Amino acid sequence: MTRTPVLAADASFDFALLQQSAARTGSRNRRALWWLLGLLVLLVGSVVTLLLYLNNFETEEAARRRAADAQWLEQSVQFHFRRLEDDLLVLARQAVQQSAGMGTLVPANPLDLKAGLLWREPGVVLSSGWIAAGQLNDQRVGPERWQVDWQAHAENAQALALMQTTSQGLRRSAYAGLMLRSDGSATDVVWLAVPFFDRGLFAGNYLAAVSVERALTAVVPGWFLQDHSVQLLTDESSAQVDTAYRAGLNLPGTDLFVQVALTQAQPTTVPRIFFFVALLFLSGMLVSLYALRRDFVKRQQVQALLQAQVALRTAMENSVTIGLRAWDLGGKILYVNDAFCRMVGYNAAELIGRSIPFPYWPAEQIDALQRVHDDIMAQGTSGEGVEVQFQHRDGHLIDVLIHEAPLNTAAGEQMGWMSSVLDISERKRAQRMAAQQQEKLEASGRLVAVGEVASTLAHELNQPLGALSSFANGLLNRLNDGSISLPELLPVVERMARLAERAGGIIKRVNAFARRRELSRQRLDLAAFLQRVRMQLGDDHAVTPAWARPDQPIWVEADELLLEHLVNNLVGNAQDWAAQDGQRPQVWVGLQQDAAQGLAVLTVADTGPGVSEEAQATIFNAFVSRKEGGMGMGLAICRSIVEAHHGRIEVGRDPVLGGARFTVLLPLAEHDPKKEMP
């Protein structure tokens, strides 16, 4: 593994892949040359095609612009004529309202009308006036010019009569013209008739004589005439310039057209600039092709070397048993090797692209693993790595050791982390077995010491305690016979009997436990058990322990006799030490359930001086006592009882009472609703 970079960097190291690449170098170069020549021909053809296209584009662009200008002018003229028709319609309504059907023409004041451009422009509207419905054929009525044009030529009279008939019949505006002079020559005047209907009945026409030339002069802006010429054509057959565009005015009843021609052509600078830019790029591409041809050989050699290195590293990654994983700064997986996939039971396609939480994180440890992930993001891992647990796809947990290294880009910027993941499940299992074996050895040693002390206690105390019990029974017999005063001796004798029986029971239990008898485990409700033991302790000491019973039962698998000895010893110590601190003695017994860890937590606290930090390390050892005349076996026996139930005992300072606080942690019993029924 350590020699790999040397092999990859040594040019004399011969890979089969490099030999194959060297054999194909000549043919690849010839193919590359033909590709470059073909690309050159393609570029030259593209430039010629571009030149022809730009030439055609200029011609089409000029024609398109002429058409667009003519269409704009056509729409502008039509808009203004439509606006003139609306203005005349307003005048017709005013004329009807003023005349009130009397048939006389009432001239309207143009200043009273917010008219359009053609009505306001001087010289556009030559004459205007109202003709009622009953006077359409009377030549004597109407505007002043109406009679002149009607009588000037026969075609004029025919066109004007047709205009009025059309406006009345089609109920829309109509035009007539161009008007002819008496010699038959055409003028630039057209007549406009705007009909007005009152309650659906034809009321008459409002007439107006319009000069088309003056109208075009008013409509066409000056900036448009700077590079365009506008000419009025009387019919479609009129001669036109090849570079001009013709557009109809679309005035119903007339055949008038407008010819728009460019008088000053604008150069198409954009296509020419584009052409010169294309030539510049062509020159640059020719130079680039020459440089690319020289670079091909070197690139092919480097590519062959890189392919060999990739093949070597891929084989190395597939052969190792350490899992490799790469992920970016956002927590998304970028790469995993086969060993990592086998470790967690997922294939690469299922893992790459996934973000936190990863599918191989145990559900109950997601928060802890998230904190580990955040720590890695902040500072990476130390030299020892980080030990966490992964979950295989089939559900079993895997202990792994993770080492992280920054994953940098070629520019040196960190883009994520590269992880090496080592499966240490067997190592952790061996460590746990060793710890359990050591724990058993220590427990055995403590049991030997307890056995020796228990045997001594049983031998030395059993006989006097038996005598005390016999004496108490004799006194009770005499009291029953009435030979002594019952009020004087009965409470003392009863207390002696209880103490003697309890002392004998404790000795028997300790002796039996020291001889490593089998524990009599049974399902036990700790809340009810502590309530019963507390009632017994209240009569034997001045300090009665206080406690709050839990709302629900807390079930454990335990030996009731040994557990009673444990509670008696802890509460008795608390009662002894509670009064030694100079304040009102108090003893508190607490019980709660830690469902998350599956433990029952029993605490005994007092108001005594507490246990110093130096004494906490040795307080549970045998023959270590802080009481005068104490043998130092009480807490040692308590630890042995707790460890026999697969629990642990701890000591600290109580934050409320200020004295010592002993905490016993026992595993909860498995849930069994049938056994929990009263």
Q: In this predicted model, what pLDDT tens digit does every residue of 501-529 receive, in sequence order?
A: 767 666 666 565 555 455 678 899 998 89
Is the pLDDT confidence value at 103 over 50? no
Is the pLDDT confidence value at 342 over 60? yes
pLDDT mean over 404-428: 84
Instruction: Pull the structure tokens for residue 129.
Output: 């006036």
What sign does the dihedral 333-335-341-347 (CA atoms) show? positive
The SS3 call for residue 584 is coil
Instruction: Pull the structure tokens for residue 19.
Output: 């030999």
Greater model confidence, 5 or 434: 434
292-332 pLDDT per residue, tens: 767 776 777 787 788 777 777 777 766 777 888 888 888 88
pLDDT of residue 486: 60
| Beta carbons of 154 and 175 less than 8 angstroms apart | no
CA-wise closest residue to 346 among 393, 397, 389: 393
Is the pLDDT confidence value at 667 over 80? yes
Q: What is the pTM for the complete model shown?
A: 0.36
Is the pLDDT confidence value at 112 over 50? no
420-469 pLDDT per residue, tens: 888 888 888 888 888 877 777 666 656 655 565 565 455 445 545 665 67
Q: Which amino acid is at 445?
A: G
Strands (DSSP E) found in 533-646: 546-547, 555-558, 587-594, 599-606
pLDDT mean over 352-378: 84
pLDDT band, residue 268 (cuts 50/70/90): low
Greater model confidence, 586 or 30: 586
pLDDT mean over 50-57: 74
pLDDT of residue 10: 39
pLDDT of residue 601: 93
Greater model confidence, 291 or 666: 666
pLDDT of residue 619: 81
| Beta carbons of 566 and 641 less than 8 angstroms apart | yes
Residue reference for tokens 């507390």: 534
| Complete domains list, the chain, with CATH | 14-316 (3.30.450.20), 320-423 (3.30.450.20), 426-517 (1.10.287), 521-678 (3.30.565.10)
Q: Which amino acid is at 315?
A: A
pLDDT mean over 264-278: 67
126-159 pLDDT per residue, tens: 888 888 887 777 667 778 888 888 888 888 888 8
| Beta carbons of 650 and 665 less than 8 angstroms apart | yes
Lowest average pLDDT, out of 5-14, 225-234, 556-565, goes to 5-14
pLDDT of residue 481: 73
Instruction: Pull the structure tokens for residue 465.
Output: 């305690």
CA-wise closest residue to 308 among 53, 556, 9, 86: 9
pLDDT mean over 319-348: 85
CA-wise closest residue to 478 among 468, 493, 463: 493
Q: Which amino acid is at 329?
A: L
| Phi, psi (rounded to 5 degrees) for 606 | -145, 175
Residue reference for tokens 């993001």: 377
Give the alpha-carbon dihedral of 301, 307, 308, 313, to 10 degrees: 150
Rounded CA Rg of the chain: 57
CA angle (462, 468, 473) in 5-degree steps: 125
